[in-house]
Chains A and B, each alone.
Chain A
Amino acid sequence: MSISVEHLTKRFGAVTALDDVSFDVPSGSVFGLLGPNGAGKTTTFKCMLGLAAPSSGAVRFDGEPLAPRTFEQLAYVAERSALYEWMRVREHLEMQRRAFVRFDRKRADELLELFGLDVRGRVRNLSKGMRTALSVVLAFAIDPELMVLDEPTSGLDPLHQRQVLKLIIDAAARGRTIVFSSHQIGQVEHAADHVAILQRGKVILAGPVDGMKAGLKIVEAVVAPDAVLPSGLHDDARISRVEQTGHVLRVTVRGDSEAVAAQLSATGAQNVRVVDLNLEDIFLNAVDPAPRAAGAAGRV
């Protein structure tokens, strides 16, 4: 199932939470939605699924607007637990079984075992991680065509985070479409083939991950902590970002990275090498750090 988000805008009074957000999720893809806290990821999901009414714009699923029947093929894991505190795990399973014809009890039992969930347990007694796990179980037991997962690894231990990623990748291998958000950029890079990066309600970058990486390289070097960047590099149009953490200098370069490496070597930098970009680099490169807490990173 493909999704087309078209010029989505959502205002809460004077605050514009989403500002003309557009992106496409191809059918069968794993789509990562990234962004700093408050960027509008959850609001985007809510507007996509009709949980919040957009101020303007539209969302289409296989070219059709959202309708109750869309949810026959859709599962959603909310960022915050929407589970019923007073109900037991097995009652949540029963709720899903009655609501979704695709619900697979055998699959649910396998998933419960995977996450170590006891069907007799009441939700109010579950930890945050276990609640996330139960939400994931409820979604994956339906095995829908489309899964929208808002922070599906939130609160989970690393072992179970890995299990969730494996479930996402397995589902994608079966042709399912998955849209998910996570602050763990490594996880998104591990699973996603498409991403969109949101900042302050706007899409600042969207497309296939491979396409984003193409043409960008990192030049890494060991320098003195108080080293001064060669003056020529400050105005170099090829350089989009310079980051120094202690002795390690990382320069993001679009185009001839070897020439930049040679320039750095000429200034006395040690261990100069050219490495491929990862998604975290792309994210940090795209996101304007201005409103973020002061850190080592910064745009030149």
Chain B
Amino acid sequence: MSYYVEYRRALRALRVVAIVLGLLLVAALLARLSWGKIRTQDDFVASMERSRTAHVTRTALPDGRTRTVIDDRKRGIHAVVERRGGSITSLVMDEVPSARGGAHNRERTRGVRASPQPLTETTVGTSVTYAFFGIGSLFSMTIPMGFFVATLLAGPLAKENNGHLELAWTKPVSRERYALSAVLVDVTALAVAQVATAAALLLATLFWEVPKLSFESLAPGHIAFALAAPIAWFACLTAFSASLKRGPGAVLGIGWVVAVACPLIATAAQNASTPVGRSVYAIFNAVSYLDPIAYTWFRMDYPADPARATVIGLLALAALAIAYLGAAVLQWRRVEA
């Protein structure tokens, strides 16, 4: 096995991920302990009743209970609450077509679909509050962590080039295989980090509500997209650092600035009317095609067809990842100790 060193590096990166996620969970727990009372069922129902767009009907039942029906078409809520002596004995919520749009009241942002509003479902005697997560949306939320870990792991070839080639290249394995096995280890670590992040998000949710996962129709595409974006970013940084003798630190730092600045500048110049402005837009828009980070927002402007946006983004990221890794390995073959 020629990838042992990269395996150790990946473990170190995952240790950092574990620390970050641990801190996030502690923060979530502290928040829950501090603000826990805000999210009681009474408060939840009261907040629905207080909504200006809600239509509330109260009825006294023959057995002494009271029934409150809350209709809020704008928010897509229909809730039936039954109380005895002020305590909620039953809460049933249905999701209804909202006045704002789609049957599931999904709010769409560029490239990432937000999960539906939390719903609650209560049976008499037991009271459980559920948070509904689409698994694709959940993985979309792990993309920032993916970029962070990709940056930690990026430049494995440059790291070897920083004084270790005499050990790396005197193993009975070709340079190409060495490079690809190192990349494979890092890609695996990236996936592990994102799955761990998704699990941590679910765990953090559990401090308030029981998470319920659903598998949306676009989930496979969203999951693949969420995994591909950090891999493409990792490949990009690896390609731009592969032939460096010293560590890839400068490339990683400058890479982030360029990757974020290019789409920002293109966005700012998008509606420019002057020739200079149009040229600036043309240049930075073209560069952003090569920028994996841009695909998570700037290059994903297909509000009418989310599925198409996801597929096009996924294909673009896959092509970028392959091209960048190919460029990295080609450079790696020519480096000298």
Residues of A within 8 A of B (CB): 46, 49-53, 68-72, 74-76, 78, 80-84, 86-87, 91, 94-95, 98-100
B9: shortest Cβ distance to chain A, in Å?
A: 9
**Distance of A86 Cα from B159 Cα, bound (Å):** 12
**Distance of A143 Cα from B279 Cα, bound (Å):** 64
CB distance A69 to B5 under 8 Å?
Answer: no
Chain A residues closer than 8 Å to B174, beta-carbon distance: 68
Closest B residue, CB atoms, query A45: B166
Chain B residues closer than 8 Å to A71, beta-carbon distance: 170-173
Known: A71-B173, A83-B164. 16 other contacts (CB 8 A): A46-B336, A46-B337, A49-B170, A51-B336, A68-B174, A72-B172, A75-B170, A76-B166, A82-B167, A84-B5, A91-B8, A95-B4, A95-B5, A95-B167, A98-B4, A99-B4
Q: Mark B157-170, 1 if CB is under 8 A from A, else 0.
A: 00000011111011
**Distance of A64 Cα from B169 Cα, bound (Å):** 18
B241: shortest Cβ distance to chain A, in Å?
A: 18
Residues of B within 8 A of A (CB): 1-2, 4-5, 8, 12, 163-167, 169-174, 177, 334, 336-337
A68-B173, A71-B172, A99-B1 known; A82 vs B336 contact (CB < 8 Å)? no
CB distance B169 to A84 under 8 Å?
Answer: no
Chain B residues closer than 8 Å to A91, beta-carbon distance: 4, 8
**Distance of A76 Cα from B167 Cα, bound (Å):** 8
**Distance of A50 Cα from B5 Cα, bound (Å):** 21
> Secondary structure at chain B's binding surface: helix, strand, loop or mixed?
loop
CB distance B166 to A51 under 8 Å?
Answer: yes
Of A72, A74, A95, A100, chain B has the most CB atoms within 10 Å of the CB of A95
**Distance of A76 Cα from B168 Cα, bound (Å):** 11
Partner of B171, one of A80, A87, A99: A99
Chain B residues closer than 8 Å to A87, beta-carbon distance: 5, 8
Chain A residues closer than 8 Å to B334, beta-carbon distance: 53
Partner of A82, one of B2, B12, B166, B173: B166
Chain B residues closer than 8 Å to A52, beta-carbon distance: 336-337
Of B163, B164, B170, B334, chain A has the most CB atoms within 10 Å of the CB of B170
CB distance B172 to A99 under 8 Å?
Answer: yes
Closest B residue, CB atoms, query A81: B163
**Distance of A135 Cα from B2 Cα, bound (Å):** 17
Chain B residues closer than 8 Å to A46, beta-carbon distance: 336-337
